Amino acid sequence: MADFVTQHCGVMGAFEIVPWTLFFDGSTCDHGAGIGIVLISPQGKKYEFSWPIIAMSTNNQAEYQALIRGLELLKEVHADAVAIFGDSVLVINQLAGIYECRSEVLIIYYERCIQLLREFKDFRLEHIPRLHNEEANRLAQHASGYQPISNVLSAVGADDSRKEIIEYLKDPSRKVERRVRFQATKYVLFEDVLYYRTIDGVFLKCLGDDEARSLVAEIYGVCGAHQSAFKMSWMI
């Protein structure tokens, strides 16, 4: 596996196709554990993800889980190439073949990463200082409870507009209207959270009515009164 990675990645190698960019980080503390992911599309659009994970995870396990989730998200949008940046010397160097992964605890995460990396036409691994990984670190700390978590998704109610699509994506074999099946092709369900897949293959988190109103109210205050819809959508 290490030979495969060594042959297919380089710190400063050039891409034949424009890659996605992936920043990842994991966080563990007394309150729990979490992961943070920042994805930047080839068009320059940035998307942030934050999830709590099993509290017994070590920091190295959290780092690996963050990278795995990020790679899985990229495969959902059929990304062909990715530039990966993380502040974990251990994870980056193990995947690059510089270090050997001998840990019985980490080997399962290491092998999963190698499996996912093999599905890309090209990739690059690069270690960066934590200072340059602040956004992913912030997201991971929020998810672990080290910093307060905001904008948590509420449960999907019976009258929620997302309900039909979520239930269908959980069980595509169930009988639904043709309208629902058609709409569902534009969405992805990941970790029980619904995302709309745009034409350029990136994810937009779908919010409930209460969440949407709360977010619009917050952004409206940031933008100021009577701002254009374009400016508010950009802020969101």
Mean pLDDT of the chain: 80
Residue located via tokens 């374009």: 230
- Structural domains in the chain, CATH included, are 2-144 (3.30.420.10), 153-205 (no CATH), 210-236 (no CATH)
Please tell me the predicted confidence (pLDDT) of residue 117.
Answer: 97
- The C-alpha atoms of residue 144 and residue 194 are separated, in whole angstroms, by 21
For 199-213, what is each residue's pLDDT tens digit? 766 778 887 766 666
Q: Calculate what percentage of the chain has a pLDDT beyond 90.
A: 38
Q: What is the pLDDT of residues 93-127, one digit of tens each?
A: 999 999 999 999 999 999 999 999 999 999 999 99
Q: pTM here?
A: 0.60
Calculate the alpha carbon distances from 190 to 104, 108, 183, 197, 205 in Å. Answer: 28, 21, 16, 12, 10
* pLDDT at 75 > cutoff 60: yes
Taking only the tens place, the pLDDT of each residue in 119-175 is: 999 999 999 998 899 999 999 988 887 665 444 444 555 567 788 888 888 888 888
57-66 as b/e, with b when 16 or more CB fall inside 10 Å?
bebbbbbbbb
